[in-house]
Structure 1
């Protein structure tokens, strides 16, 4: 007969607190900032559409306060944000991505070690999903013509609404599910404040069986949809101008650059399992609205602008923009390649490194000797190359570059703070060896 007594309520509570310690510091200015950003991201997504759209009068349109007030007070304007057909199409798209994840073959890759000592195992087939989506899209366009794939442009605002609603539903559902026993919480999302925790993400890895919602949303529904939206913009311009041969070089470049960026991210899917979004951040409204609404419907702004404001670059300017983009891509890819090789125990370039007291090794030569985040430099150069094809008639098409610079600087600061806590005095020694944050010699 066993004499083992069941764990008391206080013992269980202590164990839970050790596994999921309470968050004691805030980011994004705490609950007020989380609340404002939660409202601001969807509102900005809509604002970038209405502020740069032929349907609203240009980029930017000639808006006057009286006209804005009249629109916002008109029930028909609010009703126009909803499109049942677009909502059903979006649900169908999301279901397609889930089905492709489940059906298409893919390798199994382990993530980083969790606080429980175990590791999550992820199925990787995002690139296969991308190729399948492109194949089906290309077949439909070939069979039915470019006009058959202009609906993403025509129903753009309806798709935004559908994506925002999906983001809210997922954020609320994940927040509610995070209170179940045994859930592993994000170290930064267990503050006890519902507004902040809902935004930042309370549970680290919300999953249904082997289906991990965070990594799925990170790469599939929004990122692939971004490319499909760009293709829809090309089809819209082709329909207006009399065929694909009449599509402007600027729009083709935008599709090429952004499509290759997406393809690279999906092809190198295992690389995301060491990123802060996956290893540290919980999955809440911040990531759901960013992945599902912000990425596809804001990042396509240049392509959408070029539909109704065609720009012809010519051979010389095209060559300059192509060179600019691929210099950025070269830095981005080679820097990430050096880091991934080193993390996997390889060092084909014999790069120098600094060993901390904990035994961790930090690169101090190659691209990672020039700055602590050289891949961010490549990202910024590519962002500029995506905006250059739109010309300089409006600053709105350069919103992505501005936003991305702020985002990357914020990420760099978060990463540096985390490393300082992790490595202590060794981090100061490392910063002496690699003093620049992103841009060598500048910042």
Structure 2
């Protein structure tokens, strides 16, 4: 197979092409800061009075001191030190090497499995620090929030340029959707499919370790800040957010091999879209609820606590049960004797169990969990509900991309399948 056959030119743009890629790159970066300055102790509310926002925005953007304040040397040292710790942990902690799906070259990418061990080590060191030096020893993330965010953005931008340059190495396998020839678009969407440095696969490493684990550490820092202010205890709402989100992250890290069959790994290139999402968006946007609860301390009480717990538990049950059925089936097991249809290409598609209710039942579970995290903050502001709203849009977009890919792959068989399983996500709704 020639290089042009192995890596054909991308002829179809997503996100409205290069202009959309540019606007999204700027927009999501801006949004991370906006969610802080629009929902913090110093902003005058969450959100601040709407009539004040335009004047504050224009004066800040025109101020040199404001731009300089976004960088914090101590915050940067914390972030880059954390990233280095994740790399060293990947290198030194034991872990199995597993193969991913078959690539277009006929080979398979190999991944080291030790994300959960890295998570446990991080939690152990954090717990030891707090036990030895008190809650105040771990409030530095709250205190240096903007500087740490800026360091993460710098890392994401730098990695996007690095992997774009790496994609021109001889023999590099490119993402089918990221080889358009337009620099802005390919830099954003990701030109290289599996950029590696030595044995380190950058895409899967960033997907699970630096940002996802940092999300939990940020929440712990927020809980410590609240504990300092309250004299050593935290609210029931903070406990719910802390436990729910830590469990969600632990579940993903423990089931690390499941990542290697997702569209992020098998199909998408690694560019700014994923580097920013993994390193900046996930830890600093997804932790909004915990940060809000530092300065808006919500006591839910037993009834509301039970309601929020049940919503989260229902979501997790659906999410884990649906993914369990799918993973069993992909690995040649069918313990529940689920029904399926066989396509002309030989692929098998589940048509019963959770996958008979809808074509993406795991997304429904994900959304219920996201909703429960925001419910823990109460109902005084819409800002803390940003995550489930954004997540719903993301999952619908991902579902549309996935189904477009399946339609091309299976042809008439896909139409037959959609008649057997007509609902995309939520039965009788969508």
Determine if the TM-score, normalized by the shorter chain, exceeds 0.5.
Answer: yes
1:3-51 CA-to-partner distances (Å, cap 9, x unmatched) read xxxxxxxxxxx81101101111011111111010111111000000101
> Of 187, 191, 196, which residue of structure 1 is paired with 2:176?
187
Residue equivalent to 1:221? 210
User: How far 1:70 sits from its partner (Å)?
Assistant: 2.1
Residue equivalent to 1:8? none
Distance 2:353 2:269 in 1: 32
Residue equivalent to 1:201? 190
Please show how residues 287-366 of structure 1 align to structure 2 within 5 Å: 287-366=274-353
* Matching of residue 75 in structure 1 with residue 64 in structure 2: yes
User: How far 1:104 sits from its partner (Å)?
Assistant: 0.5
Distance 1:141 1:321 in 2: 28
1:59-90 CA-to-partner distances (Å, cap 9, x unmatched) read 01232433332222221111110000111111
Q: State the superposition RMSD in angstroms.
A: 0.8
Residue equivalent to 1:86? 75
* Matching of residue 277 in structure 1 with residue 253 in structure 2: no
Residue equivalent to 2:142? 153
Residue equivalent to 2:355? 368
SS for the counterpart of 1:390 is coil
Distance 1:204 1:328 in 2: 32
Distance 2:21 2:251 in 1: 31
SS for the counterpart of 2:217 is helix
Uncovered stretches (5+) of structure 1, i.e. residues with no partner: 1-13
Residue equivalent to 1:65? 54
> Of 54, 69, 84, which residue of structure 1 is paired with 2:41?
54
Residue equivalent to 1:97? 86
Residue equivalent to 2:223? 234
1:147-166 CA-to-partner distances (Å, cap 9, x unmatched) read 00001111111111000000
Residue equivalent to 1:10? none
> Of 107, 119, 130, which residue of structure 2 is paired with 1:130?
119
The structure whose Rg is larger is 1
Distance 2:272 2:199 in 1: 22
Residue equivalent to 1:43? 30
Distance 1:206 1:68 in 2: 38
Distance 2:39 2:136 in 1: 22
For these two proteins, the number of residue pairs brought into alignment is 428
User: How far 1:57 sits from its partner (Å)?
Assistant: 2.0
Distance 2:371 2:53 in 1: 31
* TM-score, normalised relative to structure 2: 0.99
SS for the counterpart of 1:65 is helix
Residue equivalent to 1:378? 365
Evaluate the alpha carbon distance shift between residue 33 and residue 64 of structure 1 in structure 2; reply closer, same or farther with a 3 A threshold.
Answer: closer
Distance 1:37 1:242 in 2: 42
SS for the counterpart of 2:321 is helix
Distance 1:136 1:61 in 2: 37
Distance 2:303 2:238 in 1: 16
Residue equivalent to 2:252? 265
Residue equivalent to 2:409? 422
SS for the counterpart of 2:376 is helix
* Matching of residue 19 in structure 1 with residue 6 in structure 2: yes
SS for the counterpart of 2:99 is strand
Structure 1 residue runs of 4 or more that deviate by more than 3 Å after TM superposition: none
SS for the counterpart of 1:258 is helix
Distance 1:197 1:74 in 2: 33
1:287-318 CA-to-partner distances (Å, cap 9, x unmatched) read 00000000000000011001000000011111
1:117-151 CA-to-partner distances (Å, cap 9, x unmatched) read 11111110000000000000000000000000001
User: How far 1:350 sits from its partner (Å)?
Assistant: 0.4
User: How far 1:179 sits from its partner (Å)?
Assistant: 1.0
Distance 1:208 1:78 in 2: 33
* TM-score, normalised relative to structure 1: 0.96
